[in-house]
Amino acid sequence: MTTPITPPCPAGHSEHRQVPTFTETLLRSKRHDHAVVIPVINEGERVRALLSRMEDIGIADIADVIVVDGGSTDGSLAEQLLRDHRVAALLVKTGAGKLSAQLRCAYAFCLDGGYHGIVTIDGNNKDDPAPIASFIDAMKQGVDFVQASRFIAGGVAVNTPAARHAAIRMLHAPLLSLFSGFKWTDTTQGFRAYSRALLTDPRIDVFRDVFQGYELLAYLSYRAPRLGFRCQELPTARRYPEGEVPTKISSVRGNLQILRVLLAAIAGRYNPPIGRQP
């Protein structure tokens, strides 16, 4: 069943919720209290490989798997393939925006569906999905924000581009740590988990059209610790394939945009307007 969606506001959230239009194809009934969201756009064999890895380790036995597509044209998300890998729903963003817009679609769908927490993992198969279970366990124990890190004890980083490694370790993570008050080590990747309480807090207000590209990632890393949410990093493995950098971030323009987003986040430019905070 495929239905065009303009989601209503979940209970307790701002009446000004802004969510891009999207369609939803429901493939399985809700079975769990937590969801794993996979944002994709034209990931081809990479997303199929990730879904196979997740099926092999039984992720669908502990969480509902939801794919949110930004408008793929490569045919990688055939309905039968998704059913074979026990995907619960396919969301396709039809409104404007890129990654943060996709995530707003998925967060709206999951909050309206009553999920207690959401894990997100990139659809390009760079991340080992095995720690998803530990992310969910952390949320069950009261953690509001779990961030994957390849740079803490137990983490693994393979073939990370040198410029990317330096930017994260010497600029992005240190600045977010300084201004958020929480020591982050790995702040640009999307392998994360958020509690329902965090995503519905009007002082954070994730459902705003200012979040179109990579803004939500930097903003939540800055804003959540400052508001006293319980944050934690957990070790993960991120492997770039030899001779290939599977990313939507261009080497120069994309990295400059991420820097601009970072500076705007730590300056408080994405914080909700004062009149909309309680």
pLDDT digits over 206-265, tens only? 999 999 999 999 999 999 999 999 999 999 999 999 865 555 545 667 778 999 999 999
Note the pTM of the prediction, 2 decimals: 0.91
Check residue 15 and give its pLDDT. 58
Ramachandran region, residue 141 (left: φ > 0; alpha: ψ -120 to 50; beta: rest): alpha
Question: In this structure, which amino acid lies at residue 114?
Answer: G
Place of tokens 């209970």: 11
What's the start-to-end Cα distance of the chain, in Å? 38
What tokens were used for 144? 């509001």
Superfamily designation of domain 17-268: Spore Coat Polysaccharide Biosynthesis Protein SpsA; Chain A (3.90.550.10)
| Residue 147, SS3 per DSSP | strand
- Pick 62 or 4 by higher pLDDT: 62
CA separation for the pair 150, 152 (Å, rounded) = 6
Contacting residues for 142 by C-beta, under 8 A, at least 6 apart: 230
- List the alpha helices (DSSP H) in 129-214: 132-140, 162-167, 173-180, 196-199
Q: DSSP assignment, residue 272?
A: P
CA torsion 109-24-62-12 (nearest 10°) is 10
- Pick 188 or 9 by higher pLDDT: 188
Domains of the chain by residue range: 17-268
Q: How many CB atoms lie within 10 A of CB 199?
A: 23
Question: In this structure, which amino acid lies at residue 232?
Answer: Q
Looking at the predicted structure, is the pLDDT value of residue 87 above 70?
yes
